[in-house]
Chains A and B, each alone.
Chain A
Amino acid sequence: MTTTLESPRRKASAFLYRKPRLRLGLLLSAPALWLGLAYLGALAALFVTAFWHTDVFTGQVVTEWSLDNFAMLFSDAVYRTITFRTVGIAALVTVITAVLAFPMAFYMAKFASPRARRLLVIAVMTPLWASYLVKAYAWRSMLSGNGVLHWLLNPFGLDTPGYGVLATVITLSYLWLPYMILPIYAGLERLPNSLVDASGDLGARPFRTFRSVVLPVTFPAVVAGSIFTFSLSLGDYIAVKIVGGTSQMLGNVVYDNIGAANNLPFAATVATVPVVIMLAYLAAVRRTGALDNL
């Protein structure tokens, strides 16, 4: 058979077969382009913009290098306060979702019948299909001074926390709970039942089994879930705008600097803070093997 008789398609595939490197290159070029240009490129542009400043008079960005923005970020106490508040909220949301998610995921993975398990997975996912805004506004009316929480808690001498940091933590915990349940559920599903049984056979009580067997094996899954809840909380600005009362988070500072002040460079400077925090967090959890669980 001569090459002239081959169809162009076959010729191309034969050519690619002989050149594995080219084959690989073509396969990866689209994702590499996406990752390199759209993703890392945007991040790099953000980082570069952070060193510029805005001309207050014309409102235009002046492409002139300076560290003024970073100096302001560090010298102004208010940005420190906001950063600590944001990290605190994110950490609290992460802990609350982990505590709520673990038993739920444990039941789903180890006790529920296959049918119930499917239904539960769907139930966990359902909130993700509803709009973020609707859910946040629903919490706004529930937390209101004459809302459902007030009505429920009043007989016990308690009251709704009202709008503020606590309301933000509650709302964000609600919003991100599925992102914690699903990774833990996946992690627990991989935990062989025989390990639990063996622990019991060796005389361990349930708590001891949980502490020495279940938790160490599923810890990476919890950390994987925490990466979602932590980073999502870190960047949030809508929930805090709706139920946060007067408090603000890093996202609000970014938003205000773009929306009101038209100061893109400073917004970029503030936006690098969560990026740095996340990088530090990822570096810290890398050793737990959590990243393999994502």
Chain B
Amino acid sequence: MKNRKLALAGLLGAGLLVAACGTSGSDSTAAAPGGQGFTPPKLDALAQLGQPEGQVNVLAWPGYAENGSNDPAVDWVTGFEKETGCKVNVKAFGTSDEAVSLMKTGQYDVISASGDASLRLIASGDVEPVNTALVPNYADVFDFLKNRPWNSVNNVAYGVPHGWGANLLTWRTDKVTPAPTSWSVMFDANSPYKGKISAYDSPIYIADAALYLQTHKPELGIKNPYALDDKQFQAAVELLKQQRPMVGEYWSDYLKESQALKSGDAVVGTAWQVTVNLTKSEGAPVESVLPSEGATGWSDTWMVSAKSPHKTCSYKWLNHIVSPKANAQVAEYFGESPSNPKACAETKEKAHCDTYHAGDAAYAAKIQYWTTPIAQCLDGRTDVKCKDYGEWTRAWTEIKG
């Protein structure tokens, strides 16, 4: 065990050396991500733009950087290339973990990171602070998305907020009455929808159980569903184990879930807004709600690699991707809420921003955005150790049995 700690310290130390600085992190194991009490490697943001370097390597979620090769009608890259002279090379990733390991190669200039990846990137020194003054469209971005724990550290912005959405409580209106307003229909042992429940298939789903316990078992003292100490974690795992026999199916592919809802194999579950829209458009009577307990969700951030040799093009890309037009195109193509209010006037579907509650800060505040659970409690507690993502993954295997 001691060797392992030493190795960890060595790796962290190497990371700090790369950053060429001597921060307070002499005890390097303390340098862990987290909004509070967390010292990232000292890196400087770009001071001013230079000449465009001719290209930018983009690491993106599928659907975030479309150049018309998938669908000629969907293209917000070609125009950018013509305008700035920066050729865009896109690499799509499938999971946040894949994104984190790809960023370590140093071959990518910008990345669209979800909250469960962004802190890891900041902590390991793979991404650097962003000088938001050099991103004119940043000023338009909704204030409630700026300087949040997953895209900033100590009020220093590490990227540009891009889009967000919630994992909603979704049900078949013809099979589930009355309309549910609480996650109880999915977690209560006496739920009448036993066997027809659809839950998200990922370790991060443990946070959904923790969020439920936050309201229903206040004595556990859960403040942040991503910062769970041993007792809180066990309670969430127990809840999910109790839920398991009631679950008809776990989903990770939203099309598979949509199909289950359509056929009636699932009548209640957690789903994305895009799933609800898709299922509705195919004629199935489904509705969704942000339940009384709140919900988990995602908020993505475009970040700049610390090793990028194409900084000017990177900043131009950041500015472009949150510009009203491009932001609207991505939000509509992907099915999420845009981060730029001006995007709402640019969407093809006029109701898009209403459907996705863009700009609804009260709505957004009820969402607990995905964040990587780490040993240092994200809610600021220092007297206990929290469960890290590795343990979440192991527990998830155990829950599914």
- Residues of chain A having any CB pair with chain B under 8 Å: 53-60, 62, 64, 72, 76, 78-79, 81-82, 140-141, 144-147, 162-163, 242, 245-248, 253, 256-257, 259-263
Chain B residues, CB < 8 A from A57: 8, 11-12, 32, 120, 123-124, 374-375, 388
A256 in contact with B4 (CB, 8 Å): no
Nearest first, the 6 closest Cβ-Cβ pairs linking A and B are A261-B393, A262-B97, A56-B390, A78-B398, A144-B263, A56-B388
Task: Pick the interface stretch among B163-171, B246-254, B285-293, B329-337.
Answer: B246-254
Is the pair B3, A64 in contact by a Cβ cutoff of 8 Å? yes
Q: How far is the CA of A242 from the CA of B314 in the complex (A)?
A: 40
Q: Bound state CA distance, A278 and B250, in angstroms?
A: 29
- Asked if B70 is at the interface of the complex by the 8 Å CB criterion, the answer is no
**Among A60, A259, A260, A262, contact of B11 (Cβ-Cβ < 8 Å):** A60
CB pair A242 B256 closer than 8 Å: yes
> Of the candidates B15, B32, B100, B400, which one forms a contact with A248 in the assembled complex, judged by CB atoms under 8 Å apart?
B400
Write out the residue numbers on chain B whose beta carbons fall within 8 Å of the beta carbon of A140.
259
Question: B390 to A256, Cβ gap below 8 A?
Answer: no
Q: In the docked arrangement, what's the CA distance between A21 and B278, Å?
A: 67
Query: Interface centre among B248, B263, B388, B393, by most A CB within 10 Å?
Result: B393
> In the complex, how many angstroms separate the beta carbon of A62 from the nearest chain B beta carbon?
5
Q: Indicate if B78 sits at the interface (CB-CB under 8 A).
A: no
Residues of B241-299 whose CB lies within 8 A of A = 244, 247-250, 256, 259, 263-265
* A256 and B397 contacting across the interface, CB-CB below 8 Å: yes
Cα distance A141–B265 when bound, in Å?
10
B203 near A: Cβ within 8 Å?
yes
Q: Are the CB atoms of B15 and A58 closer together than 8 Å?
A: yes
| Contact present for A245 and B11 (CB under 8 Å) | no
* Cβ B203 vs Cβ A261 within 8 A: yes
| B interface size (C-beta, 8 A) | 43
| Complex Cα spacing A144 to B259, Å | 10
Chain B interface (Cβ < 8 Å from any Cβ of A): 3-4, 7-8, 11-12, 15, 32, 94-95, 97-98, 100-101, 104, 120, 123-124, 195, 202-203, 244, 247-250, 256, 259, 263-265, 374-375, 388-390, 393-394, 396-398, 400-401
CB distance from A27 to the nearest CB of B (A): 40
Shortest Cβ distance from B257 into chain A, in angstroms? 12
User: In the complex, are the beta carbons of B100 and A59 less than 8 A apart?
Assistant: yes
- Which residues from B are CB-within-8-Å of A58? 11-12, 15, 120, 124
A146-B263 in contact given A58-B15, A261-B97 (Cβ < 8 Å): yes
Asked if B101 and A55 sit within 8 Å, CB to CB, the answer is no
**Distance from A160 Cβ to chain B, minimum over Cβ atoms (Å):** 10
Given contact pairs A256-B393, A262-B101, A263-B393, A245 touches B249 in the complex (Cβ within 8 A): yes
CA distance A146 to B265 in the complex (A): 8
Contact between chains at B393 and A257 (CB < 8 Å): yes
* A residues less than 8 Å from B202 (CB atoms): 260
CA distance A245 to B374 in the complex (A): 30
**A-chain residues with CB within 8 Å of residue B4 when the two chains form the complex:** 53, 62, 64
Q: Which residues of A contact B264 (CB under 8 A)?
A: 145-146
B89 to chain A, nearest CB (A): 24
Q: Could you jot down 13 A-B contacts, CB within 8 Å?
A: A57-B8, A57-B374, A57-B375, A60-B11, A64-B3, A64-B7, A82-B401, A162-B248, A245-B247, A246-B401, A248-B401, A260-B97, A260-B203
Is there contact, CB below 8 Å, between B265 and A145? Answer: yes
Cα-based distance from A60 to B126 in the complex (angstroms): 13
Closest chain B residue to A242, Cβ basis: B256
Which A residues lie within 8 Å of B97 (CB)?
59, 259-262
Complex CA gap A259/B201 in Å reads 12
Which residues in A have their C-beta under 8 angstroms from that of B393?
256-257, 260-261, 263
Query: How many whole Å from B17's CB to the nearest CB in chain A?
Result: 14
Question: Which of A145, A246, A257 has the most C-beta atoms of chain B within 10 angstroms of its own C-beta?
Answer: A246
A253 to B400 Cα, complex, angstroms: 10
* Inter-chain contacts of A64 with B (CB < 8 A): 3-4, 7
**How far does the alpha carbon of A146 sit from the alpha carbon of B172 in the complex, in Å?**
15
Q: For residue B268, give the distance in angstroms from its CB to the closest CB of chain A.
A: 14
The interface residues of chain A lying within 8 Å CB-to-CB of B94 are 259
A81 adjacent to B7 (CB under 8 Å): no
- In the complex, A162→B248 CA distance in Å? 9
Which of B3, B101, B124, B265 is the most central at the interface, judged by chain A CB atoms within 10 Å of its CB?
Answer: B265
B8 / chain A contacts, CB cutoff of 8 Å: 55, 57
In the complex, what residues of B have CB within 8 A of residue A55's CB?
7-8, 11
Report chain B residues within 8 Å CB of A59.
97, 100-101, 104, 120
B189 to chain A, nearest CB (A): 16
The minimal Cβ–Cβ distance linking A194 to chain B, given in whole angstroms, is 54
When distances are taken between beta carbons in the complex, the residues of chain B under 8 Å from A82 are 397, 401
Q: A78-B398, A163-B265 are in contact. Are A246 and B249 (CB under 8 A)?
A: yes
- Shortest Cβ distance from residue B66 to the other chain A in the assembled complex, whole angstroms: 24
Cα A118 to Cα B130 in complex, Å, equals 68
Question: B120 contacts which chain A residues (CB < 8 A)?
Answer: 57-59
In the complex, the answer to whether A246 meets B100 with C-beta atoms within 8 Å is no
Distance in angstroms from B14 CB to nearest chain A CB is 10
Say yes or no: A163-B248 contact (C-beta < 8 A), given A64-B3, A260-B95.
yes
Contacts of A260 in B (CB 8 A): 95, 97, 202-203, 393, 396
Contact between A76 and B7, CB atoms less than 8 A apart: no
Q: Which residues of B have CB within 8 Å of A72?
A: 394
> How far is it, in angstroms, between the C-alpha of A242 and the C-alpha of B201 when the chains are bound?
12
Are B396 and A256 in contact (CB-based, < 8 A)?
yes
